[in-house]
Structure 1
């Protein structure tokens, strides 16, 4: 078992977010295993016609054929790591979901970041439920309403925590992971999701 039992989430944004501050069992061990065993790599995205190396490392794992396209890139899934396959199964059972893939991001220190975005790609369907697992250094989950530039607020995501972005949240909100000075330790973020319509390779 990779999940602690009997945990009750904090409900935020009128229920659009459910936060479990400590849900992952033995999160220290899981962090070290994933740091050393996942095939982390640098990638690039196309922004306004130019290629930019993303400020983090990542990998995409999931069921066969679940290609995922964002920012002009199509990611082909790698085979499930056994720990992540088990974790996905337990999260699906606990939350009543059918997630079939996971985007893994490695933030090496406080200078690695994720810009403003919504997880609203067509492959995710009209109302995706995204389950976000945080391991390692505490970082801020920043929020703003779509169409606005001012940050609405931020939530520090603890080591071993799980944040569920419930159906409808991606329609109204954007989120980001800002830089944070003084952070030297690594953080892994696992976002489990269900691809409804796999993207073609060509």
Structure 2
């Protein structure tokens, strides 16, 4: 069955409890999504991600690019990343998403998965820099381009899973207590040969600057 024949419907919450993941459906036309995909593949400063897990250094197969309002040094996955200034296309898209979501973002982590053999394992985006000292909720807007990929959530206690297929131009927003109670992952599939670009818009609180 070709799931791309069915456009995803907007939903207020994809999770059954302990968090909120809003699905805005497709926020771009197929033509716009294809143009943006080509733009991001050729214009962003892609490099292999570096992470430290359990004291060991790893270089990921997927590539990433960091952009932000300022040249912030972000501490992420045990290493420091330096944010680059917005490209015009990325900044326009950020403004569009902010109007849809009703939140402001000062940074974007872009991910490039060149094919289905590349994914990301179970994790939560719960770094201290994503949470303000006032304890405000973490809001992450995730926009997909390119190949349709399976994206999954798993509750940290009950192990209940929620699976969805993210299409090109589809926007989901993780908010509320999602990062506290749920992990998420991008599943691998050797059948997928097309690239996928994922943009995650965030608001970082760079404590190191205070």
TM-score by length of 1: 0.89
After superposition, give the CA deviation of every residue in 1:95-142 in whole Å (9 maximum; x if it has no partner). Answer: 211111000000000011111111111111142110000000011111
After superposition, give the CA deviation of every residue in 1:65-116 in whole Å (9 maximum; x if it has no partner). Answer: 4332122111111010111111111111222111110000000000111111
TM-score by length of 2: 0.86
SS at structure 1 position matched to 2:65: strand
CA RMSD of aligned residues (A): 1.9
- Structure 1 Cα separation of the partners of residues 188 and 154 of structure 2: 16
- Structure 2 Cα separation of the partners of residues 199 and 40 of structure 1: 26
1:8 shift after superposition: 7.3
1:151 shift after superposition: 5.7
SS at structure 1 position matched to 2:168: coil
CA contact (8 A) 2:51 2:79 kept: yes
- The corresponding residue for 1:198 is 206
- Structure 2 Cα separation of the partners of residues 112 and 66 of structure 1: 28
CA contact (8 A) 1:42 1:56 kept: yes
Q: Which sections of structure 2, spanning at least 5 residues, go unmatched?
A: 1-7
- The corresponding residue for 1:182 is 191
Matched, 1:16 2:25: no
- Structure 1 Cα separation of the partners of residues 121 and 187 of structure 2: 7
- The corresponding residue for 2:176 is 167
Match of 1:134 among 119, 126, 144: 144
- The corresponding residue for 2:127 is 121
Matched, 1:105 2:106: no
CA contact (8 A) 2:119 2:188 kept: yes
- The corresponding residue for 2:3 is none
